[in-house]
Amino acid sequence: MTTWLDTVAGIVGPRHLITDPDTLAAACLDWRGRYRGRAQAIARPGSTAEVAALVRACVAAGAPIVPQGGNTSHCGAATPDDSGRALIIQLHRMQALRAVDADNNTLTAEAGCTLAQVQDAAAGVGRLFPLSLASEGSCQIGGNLATNAGGVAVLRYGPMRELTLGLEAVLPDGSVLDSLSGLRKNNTGYDLKQLLIGAEGTLGIITAATLKLFPAPEATATALVEVSNPADALALLHALQARFGDRLTAFELISGLCLQLLARHLPDARPPFMPPWCVLLELNDGGSEAVLNQALAEALCALRPQADAVLARHARERAQLWTLREQISEAQKRDGPSIKHDIAVPLSQLAGFIERADAALQQAFPACRVVCFGHVGDGNLHYNVSYTRPGNVDLFDDEPAVNALVYDLVYAHGGTLSAEHGIGQLKRDWLRRYLPPANLAAMRAVKQALDPLGLMNPGKVL
Ligand SMILES: Cc1cc2nc3c(=O)[nH]c(=O)nc-3n(C[C@H](O)[C@H](O)[C@H](O)COP(=O)(O)OP(=O)(O)OC[C@H]3O[C@@H](n4cnc5c(N)ncnc54)[C@H](O)[C@@H]3O)c2cc1C
């Protein structure tokens, strides 16, 4: 008798249907090791037609579908629930670059390309694809789209939503939404691609996208600069933006505790100094790098004459400075578990938020410490809480109370509980608490219209 999994094997080929327990277990565990689910199998399709056929097979069998890219989600978004019924659909065989149109400043990539592959393809034709995350070697374009990923260059170029011109996706009924287009102007009804972007795989499986490219900068200047506190960091941000405009492409806040964790756990990432706070900033421009470096050095001497600062002299030093920023998540992971918050508040509220949240947490949970860093130029902070006692005893017992304290303050400051990581399963209940009822109802109506059987990544977002 033919089973449902035989049908799946017939679609992708037996080699690309995975049921071995070790590979399944790895796919059912999230990057942070917080969520462990179960699934029937993994299918690895090689084309959009195969994805569509898989979705139709899942609908016929009533099997939940979990799209999975690089599995680097910070909120358990790509981890199946523990029903053991899901089919995980991994996209990494779909890595074709369908078109690179340098004259149109666009590139069309399949969803399984890693972000690094897309960056390299753009560089290969003298262009820049500016999305940049510490996970770029393993996260995939499909995952970046499904999470509306942000990263370190949002300040200048915007998140994935702003970098996407066209999209192809398989909808929950197995039909193919074809909005692949390199047009910058196209007013033909609802912008359906934006529904899929940021939907975390709950409205369909993204199979390809047409992405915006930009001129590759000829010159880059990078500096690590001491600041006295977050308010001082914002004053420096505004002063640099007044001087350099959108040539300032990155502005990252790093707390002293982050530097200590790096020094403790990652000997290769050596901070050049240990201030209470610092910022890592970058300028991009045309023309000569020496001239840009000189302009940045003069600006920093004028704006922060007393501050410790390191200006990268060449590409290797630039990479070393970025390693500090990019390895913070890893250093924190090695230090032990933490309660992660990926919040944003308006820039005008940011310093006040940190001050009030730090004080309130200290009072309510005297053993806590906050690892605070992030894309401060966008008002986005990774505001992570752990305990100082060995093994972080009781940390997760206190998680609901810690979250309530932090999120209440975030919303009191006009902010959001997810700036870029998304909702996944980690923040689903909190979304219900903070999103206005009419917004939640509209989201549920969209979900019901597109996925009436509720098979697409169940238990995530809503
Ligand atoms: C060290 C580190 C640093 C990070 N830094 C950042 C950062 O600066 N900014 C940021 O935004 N994020 C960051 N992240 C989080 C993560 O890398 C991003 O959310 C990334 O976009 C996820 O891509 P992925 O391919 O790993 O997706 P996965 O983790 O596999 O999946 C994420 C979500 O997308 C869905 N999905 C995946 N592929 C598809 C598809 N083809 N179609 C439909 N749905 C799909 C999944 O079902 C899930 O809901 C970081 C993660 C790590 C580990």
Per-residue model confidence as pLDDT tens digits over 355-404: 999 999 999 998 899 999 999 999 999 999 988 766 666 788 889 999 99
pLDDT band of 141, cuts 50, 70, 90? very high
3 state DSSP class of 194: helix
What's residue 285's pLDDT?
Answer: 95
Domain count, the chain: 4
Residues 34 and 47 in one domain: yes
The answer to whether the CB of 443 falls within 8 A of the CB of 168 is no
Q: What is the CATH number of the domain that holds 111?
A: 3.30.465.10
- Tokens matching residue 269: 């990432």
Residues 211 and 223 in one domain: no
Tally of CB atoms within 10 A around 390? 7
Is residue 189 one of the residues assigned to a domain?
yes
Supply the DSSP string of 34-74, one letter for each residue: --B--EEEEE--SSHHHHHHHHHHHHHHT--EEEESS---S
Span from the CA of 136 to the centroid of ligand 1 (angstroms)? 10
Can you tell me which atom of ligand 1 is nearest the CA of 134? 3
Residues 317 and 263 in one domain: yes
Q: What is the CATH number of the domain that holds 272?
A: 3.30.70.2190
Residues 236 and 314 in one domain: yes
Pocket test residue of 73, 90, 447 for ligand 1, highest count of atoms within 8 A of CB: 73
pLDDT band of 2, cuts 50, 70, 90? confident
Is residue 440 one of the residues assigned to a domain?
no
Residues 56 and 108 in one domain: no
- Give the tens place of pLDDT for each residue, 225-281: 999 999 999 999 999 999 999 999 999 999 999 999 999 999 888 899 999 999 999
Distances in whole angstroms, Cα of residue 393 to Cα of each of 30, 66, 264, 329, 402: 22, 33, 21, 20, 14
The answer to whether the CB of 153 falls within 8 A of the CB of 169 is no
Query: What's the chain's average pLDDT?
Result: 95
Residues 43 and 109 in one domain: no
Of the candidates 43, 87, 35, 36, the one whose C-alpha atom is nearest the C-alpha of residue 61 is 87
Is residue 261 one of the residues assigned to a domain?
yes
What's residue 393's pLDDT?
Answer: 66
The answer to whether the CB of 275 falls within 8 A of the CB of 296 is no
Strand partners, 87: 41, 65
Average pLDDT over residues 407-414: 98
Span from the CA of 45 to the centroid of ligand 1 (angstroms)? 19
Is residue 34 one of the residues assigned to a domain?
yes
Is residue 177 one of the residues assigned to a domain?
yes
Contacting residues for 462 by C-beta, under 8 A, at least 6 apart: 202, 428, 431, 440, 443, 444, 447
Can you tell me which atom of ligand 1 is nearest the CA of 140? 25
Is residue 438 one of the residues assigned to a domain?
no
Residues 209 and 248 in one domain: no
Residues 122 and 171 in one domain: yes
Task: Choose one of 275, 309, 330: the last residue of a domain.
Answer: 330
The helix-helix angle for 289-303 and 230-244 (nearest 10°) equals 130
CA–CA dist 338, 326 (Å, integer) = 17
Residues 176 and 75 in one domain: no
Is residue 384 one of the residues assigned to a domain?
yes
Task: Choose one of 162, 185, 215: the last residue of a domain.
Answer: 215
Closest Cα to atom 27 of ligand 1: 143
Residues 208 and 307 in one domain: no
Q: What ranges make up the beta strands (E) of 119-175?
A: 127-128, 164-170
The helix-helix angle for 48-61 and 4-12 (nearest 10°) equals 180
Task: Choose one of 31, 59, 90: the last residue of a domain.
Answer: 90
The helix-helix angle for 256-265 and 328-335 (nearest 10°) equals 70
- Contacts of 96-102 with C-beta under 8 Å, sequence gap 24+, read 97/121, 98/208, 99/210, 100/124, 100/125, 101/182, 102/126, 102/127, 102/213
Ligand 1 pocket, residues with Cβ under 6 angstroms:
31, 66-74, 77-78, 91, 111, 133-135, 139-140, 142-144, 146-147, 149-151, 200-201, 205-206, 329, 420-421, 457, 460
Residues 55 and 120 in one domain: no
Closest Cα to atom 46 of ligand 1: 78
Average pLDDT over residues 302-313: 95
C-alpha dihedral over 130, 132, 137, 139, to 10 degrees? -100
Query: Worst-scoring range by mean pLDDT, 7-11, 40-44, 332-336, 423-427?
Result: 332-336
Average pLDDT over residues 442-452: 98
Residues 225 and 294 in one domain: yes
Is residue 340 one of the residues assigned to a domain?
yes
pLDDT band of 74, cuts 50, 70, 90? very high
CA–CA dist 460, 129 (Å, integer) = 29
Tally DSSP H helices, then E strands, for the chain.
17, 18
Q: What is the CATH number of the domain that holds 9?
A: 3.30.43.10
CA–CA dist 372, 368 (Å, integer) = 13
Query: Quick one: what percent of the chain has pLDDT higher than 70?
Result: 99
Contacting residues for 437 by C-beta, under 8 A, at least 6 apart: none
Q: What is the CATH number of the domain that holds 375?
A: 3.30.70.2740
The boundaries of the domain holding residue 227 are: 219-330
